[in-house]
């Protein structure tokens, strides 16, 4: 890999869609790139600004309150949807957390008759319920779910890989037939508290309910995103020491009641 590799990241609505320290995902990506001599250029696009999808290798949207999601929903359709689709079509990666994930499905119904339109990246719709789904969560990602991201590298260990985080959402996300989940719930609630599914994956796009922030607790996923954004095999990335990252991962799994197996 070239020592002068460069990636461009766009954060959508970072001032509105950033709860439970979701911003930490961006800092973590930037650090892991910098440690490897990869320049990660950060840009942001908010209400009223166009998203020029072809400019970016990584697009990110974090979680948000219903109130802020309402502000973003119309804007996503008006100013960002075409750019999001264009970015994915040219091989960019997209990470959407919780409220951001919900807005990238087909719709988010806040109450009967009050439905926010979604961008339709994921074949899913979300319906709000009175009872929130809250707590530490662990999921097992199926390697085939990440096939598009792995690029055939088969880098996941047997049995899939675990992701750990924290969830807090009133929305229940229901996947369409044929829409691949990100993984299966090991502990916690996931998309809807009933199906056993968590998140959604399409091409380079990942939607998930895991906050925490997600990436510092699951460094392997951060590296997968970086590799895919660079259009290289994840095994080509320079290895990092990762003692702290491994400890954070094990700690988050323990909080969810799961013992790490690697």
Between CA 28 and CA 21 the distance in angstroms is: 12
The CB-of-119 to ligand GLN minimum distance in angstroms stands at 16
The CB-of-214 to ligand GLN minimum distance in angstroms stands at 12
> Which residues 153-172 are close enough to bind ligand GLN by CB under 6 A?
168-171
Between CA 31 and CA 20 the distance in angstroms is: 19
Judged by beta carbon, residue 20 or residue 220, the one nearer ligand GLN is 20
Judged by beta carbon, residue 189 or residue 228, the one nearer ligand GLN is 189
Between CA 253 and CA 261 the distance in angstroms is: 10
Between CA 54 and CA 42 the distance in angstroms is: 15
> Which residues 6+ apart lie within 8 Å of 229 measured at CB?
7, 57, 58, 92, 93
Taking residues 169 to 188 in sequence order and writing x for each that binds ligand GLN by CB under 6 A, - otherwise, the string is xxx-----------------
Q: Which of 72, 98, 169, 189 is catalytic?
A: 98
- Contact (CB, 8 A) for 209 and 100: no
Which of 1, 19, 21, 260 binds ligand GLN (CB under 6 A)? It is 19
Which single residue brings its beta carbon nearest to ligand GLN?
63
Judged by beta carbon, residue 63 or residue 83, the one nearer ligand GLN is 63
> Which residues 62-101 are close enough to bind ligand GLN by CB under 6 A?
63-66, 69, 98-99
Taking residues 98 to 117 in sequence order and writing x for each that binds ligand GLN by CB under 6 A, - otherwise, the string is xx--x---------------
Taking residues 216 to 245 in sequence order and writing x for each that binds ligand GLN by CB under 6 A, - otherwise, the string is ------------------------------
Burial class (CB in 10 A: 0-12, 13-18, 19+), 145: buried
Q: Which long-range contacts (CB under 8 A, 24 or more apart) does 32-37 make?
A: 32/219, 32/222, 32/223, 32/226, 32/240, 33/7, 33/226, 35/238, 35/240, 36/237, 36/238, 36/240, 37/3, 37/4, 37/5
Residues in the chain: 262
The CB-of-191 to ligand GLN minimum distance in angstroms stands at 11
In the annotation, is 211 catalytic?
yes
Q: Kindly list the catalytic residues.
A: 98, 211
Q: Which residues bind ligand GLN (CB under 6 A)?
A: 19, 63-66, 69, 98-99, 102, 168-171
């Amino acid at each position: 890999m070239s020592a002068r590799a460069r990636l461009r990241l766009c954060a959508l609505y970072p001032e509105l869609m950033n709860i439970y320290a979701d911003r930490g995902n961006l800092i973590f990506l930037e650090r892991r790139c910098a440690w490897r001599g990869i320049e990660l250029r950060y840009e942001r696009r908010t209400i009223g600004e166009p998203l020029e999808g072809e400019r970016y290798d990584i697009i990110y949207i974090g979680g948000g309150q219903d109130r802020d999601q309402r502000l973003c929903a119309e804007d996503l359709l008006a100013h960002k949807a075409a750019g999001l689709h264009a970015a994915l079509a040219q091989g960019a990666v997209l990470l959407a957390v919780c409220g951001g994930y919900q807005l990238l499905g087909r719709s988010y119904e806040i109450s009967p008759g009050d439905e926010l339109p979604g961008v339709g990246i994921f074949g899913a719709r979300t319906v709000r319920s009175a009872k929130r789904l809250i707590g530490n969560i662990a999921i097992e990602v199926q390697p085939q779910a990440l096939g598009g991201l792995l690029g055939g590298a088969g880098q996941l260990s047997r049995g899939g890989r675990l992701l750990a985080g924290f969830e807090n959402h009133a929305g229940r996300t229901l996947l369409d037939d044929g829409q691949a989940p990100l993984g299966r719930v090991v502990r916690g609630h996931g998309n809807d508290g009933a199906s056993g599914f968590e998140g959604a994956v399409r091409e380079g796009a990942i939607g998930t309910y895991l906050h925490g922030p997600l990436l510092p607790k699951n460094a392997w996923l951060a590296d997968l995103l970086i590799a895919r954004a660079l259009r290289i095999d994840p095994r080509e990335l320079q290895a990092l020491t990762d003692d702290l990252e491994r400890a954070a991962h094990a700690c988050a799994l323990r909080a969810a009641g799961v013992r790490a197996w690697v």
